[in-house]
Amino acid sequence: MQRFLFLDRDGTIVLEPSDYKVDSYEKIDFYPGVFYWLGRIVHELDYKLIMVTNQDGLGQERLPEELFWPPHRFIIKTFAGEGIHFLEVHIDRTYAHENAPTRKPGTAMLQHFLDEGIDLSTSYVIGDRLTDMELAKNLGAKGIWINQDPGLGANEIHFAKNELEKVISLKTRSWEDIYYHLASLEP
């Protein structure tokens, strides 16, 4: 059964800037250890990578296209240079108050996985917000909560915290921990 890692971008593979938008090259800080440890995950373990990111106001005044895409492409290209390729990249552009089904924790950007009846019980969502953990629950996957800030996304979740805890497989601040956690689950 094919396994997937649904990866958040900001706060997970790059650090979250203080104003929550990566709109210049200067604001790209890769998460410490992510190239080495995610590289080992990809090269040693059989997961395909899917990026799923909320980019509030992309294409509007908050985050103009011309400021978003060059750093985003640089991030993707830099990972590709380390042999870390994303099979799919899904970007939602809405704000939380719009309650769009495409916005995490909504699954609409990943509807094709659900439509095809793909069993995601051995797949993971890795992200820094509770909304990422709720996405895991909504997909029938498990969650890895990196760099967890209980405040981030707390106003956008629909399940009680203890319901989300059940899908969280690991809480950590370290990509090294994520590698060893996933490697320990190998048959």
Report whether 12 contacts 128 (CB < 8 A). Answer: yes
Report the interhelical angle of 34-44 vs 175-184 (nearest 10°).
20
The reply to whether 128 belongs to the active site is no
What residues pair up with 14 in beta bridges, in sequence order? 10, 30
Cβ 185 to Mg ion shortest distance, Å = 23
Cβ 118 to Mg ion shortest distance, Å = 24
The radius of gyration of the chain's CA atoms, rounded to the nearest angstrom, is: 15
What backbone torsions phi and psi does residue 96 show, to the nearest 5 degrees? -55, -40
Task: Read off the tokens for 38.
Answer: 């995610």
Q: Indicate the SS3 state at residue 176.
A: helix
The reply to whether 8 belongs to the active site is yes
Q: Which of residues 119-178 bind Mg ion (CB under 5 A)?
A: 128
| 8 vs 134, beta carbon nearer Mg ion | 8
Q: Which stretch binds Mg ion (CB under 5 A): 5-13, 67-75, 113-121, 178-186?
A: 5-13
Sole binder of Mg ion in the list 4, 11, 51, 141 (CB under 5 A): 11
Which are the catalytic amino acids?
8, 10
Positions in the binding site for Mg ion (CB under 5 A): 8, 10-11, 128
